[in-house]
Amino acid sequence: MNNFTYRRADNVAGAIQEIALDGTAQLIAGGTNLLDLMKENIARPSRLIDITRLPLHKIEDTADGGLRIGALVTNTNVAYNEQVEKRYPLLARAILAGASPQLRNMATTGGNLLQRTRCYYFYDTALPCNKREPGTGCPAIAGFNRIHAILGASEHCIAVHPSDMCVALAALEATVRVTGKNGERAIPFASFHRLPGDTPQLDNNLQADEIITAIELPAQGFAENYAYLKVRDRQSYAFALVSVAVALAIEGTQIKEARLALGGVAHKPWRNSEAEANLRGQPLTAANFQKVAAAIMHEAQGFGHNTFKIELAQRAIVRALTQATAGTPQAQEQSL
């Protein structure tokens, strides 16, 4: 492990100044991902800037009827917040499907967005990896790729984004609020994370001198008809092989609006707006659910060990849509 200095930032402007000073400085929040990366010698910051004392710990209503979640609110405090449970239960469900209670007590909202892939090769510094060292190659493509992407991958990287929370945020169409040297900006959730393309080293569109200050949820929370289904190797404490966040607005027996985001299948939470739009105005039938699942998986490509995910994802989509329709979502992973 490299030597590093440690400083605690007192305010957002101070934290921005500190990271802008030095390209190898890194912010630390809950530390549940960064410290592991440092121990494995994958992250080698020369300076750590502790942001845990910044005033970003609140959950507040927004003027347009939504909810603003400070970047330092822990995953636990988001999931058990009364307003989140009542108005955005999909988000609460997704968070509680992730990690363990101890990790969720430390992990923060901002840190969750920026957690790095769980690709085995990325964590093994004895092997090449384009994400760790651009231009060295991607051993996962011809290697053991059971947990890897089936959608949106590139010849340079087939890693997936591991977050559960982000899958729900994608379906809810949240906005990421960030502040940097050039002021504040709002990034729609769909534009926050990136596909690997030929820059697999970049996971997202946050600039090096920017800090996430909050996530904003729009007023519509889909609290009546939602589901978060996570399929994984163990019932707890495991990352998703495939996960599905569904948010439905239903009118009578028809779908007024459908949002569907997938986790564990791509370098970012996966949405297919065209396929979702085709559900609008349609009756809530298994045949329609199967049709949308097939459309979403139309361009999916397996790499051998992970090809099973294509069928698995289709089944998970149909099940999650069925659960959301019933209005009594259950996190049942069995019998897919």
Applying CB under 6 A, the residues found at the interface with ligand FAD are 26-34, 36, 51, 71, 98-99, 103, 106-108, 110-112, 114-115, 162-165, 211-212, 239
Contact 270, 240 (CB under 8 A): no
H-state helical runs in the chain = 12-21, 34-39, 75-79, 82-87, 89-96, 101-106, 109-114, 139-142, 165-172, 189-192, 273-277, 286-296, 308-326
- Binders of ligand SF4: how many residues, by CB under 6 A? 14
Least spacing, CB of residue 112 vs ligand FAD, in Å: 3
Least spacing, CB of residue 269 vs ligand SF4, in Å: 17
Q: Which partner from the list ligand FAD, ligand SF4, none does 26 bind, CB cut-off 5 to 8 Å by kind?
A: ligand FAD
- Please, which residues bridge with residue 263 across strands? 243
Phi-psi category of 135—alpha, beta or left, where left has phi over 0 and alpha has psi -120 to 50? left
Least spacing, CB of residue 133 vs ligand SF4, in Å: 9
Least spacing, CB of residue 200 vs ligand SF4, in Å: 5
Measure the CA–CA gap between 199 and 203, rounded to whole angstroms.
9
213 binds ligand SF4 (CB under 6 A): no
130 binds ligand SF4 (CB under 6 A): yes
**Which one of 24-32, 42-50, 115-123, 178-186 is the stretch in contact with ligand SF4 (CB under 6 A)?**
115-123
Least spacing, CB of residue 233 vs ligand FAD, in Å: 11
> 159 vs 172, which CB is nearer to ligand SF4?
159
Burial class (CB in 10 A: 0-12, 13-18, 19+), 263: buried
Out of 114, 129, 174, 187, name the contact with ligand SF4 by CB under 6 A.
129
Report the SS3 class of residue 226. Answer: strand
Measure the CA–CA gap between 127 and 103, rounded to whole angstroms.
28
Sequence-distant (≥ 6) Cβ neighbours of residue 74 within 8 angstroms? 30, 104, 105, 106, 107, 108, 109
Out of 29, 92, 97, 157, name the contact with ligand SF4 by CB under 6 A.
157
* Residue whose tokens read 């039938």: 285
Burial class (CB in 10 A: 0-12, 13-18, 19+), 317: buried
Least spacing, CB of residue 44 vs ligand FAD, in Å: 12
Measure the CA–CA gap between 170 and 163, rounded to whole angstroms.
11
> 162 vs 200, which CB is nearer to ligand SF4?
200
State the DSSP string of 228-257. EEEE-SSSSS---SEEEEEEEEEETTEEEE
Least spacing, CB of residue 131 vs ligand SF4, in Å: 4
138 binds ligand SF4 (CB under 6 A): yes
Contact 116, 37 (CB under 8 A): yes
> 94 vs 119, which CB is nearer to ligand SF4?
119
Out of 31, 139, 218, 302, name the contact with ligand SF4 by CB under 6 A.
139
> Binding pattern to ligand SF4, positions 158-177, x when CB under 6 A?
xx------------------
Measure the CA–CA gap between 240 and 263, rounded to whole angstroms.
7
Judged by CB under 6 A, the chain residues 277 through 296 that form the site for ligand SF4 are: none
Q: Which partner from the list ligand FAD, ligand SF4, none does 29 bind, CB cut-off 5 to 8 Å by kind?
A: ligand FAD
Out of 72, 140, 293, 317, name the contact with ligand SF4 by CB under 6 A.
140
Specify the pairing of strand 67-70 against strand 183-188: unpaired
Other Cβ atoms less than 10 A from the Cβ of 219: the count is: 11
Q: Which partner from the list ligand FAD, ligand SF4, none does 151 bind, CB cut-off 5 to 8 Å by kind?
A: none
Specify the pairing of strand 211-217 against strand 67-70: antiparallel
> 131 vs 259, which CB is nearer to ligand SF4?
131
Chain positions contacting ligand SF4, by CB under 6 A: 117, 119, 121-122, 129-131, 138-140, 157-159, 200
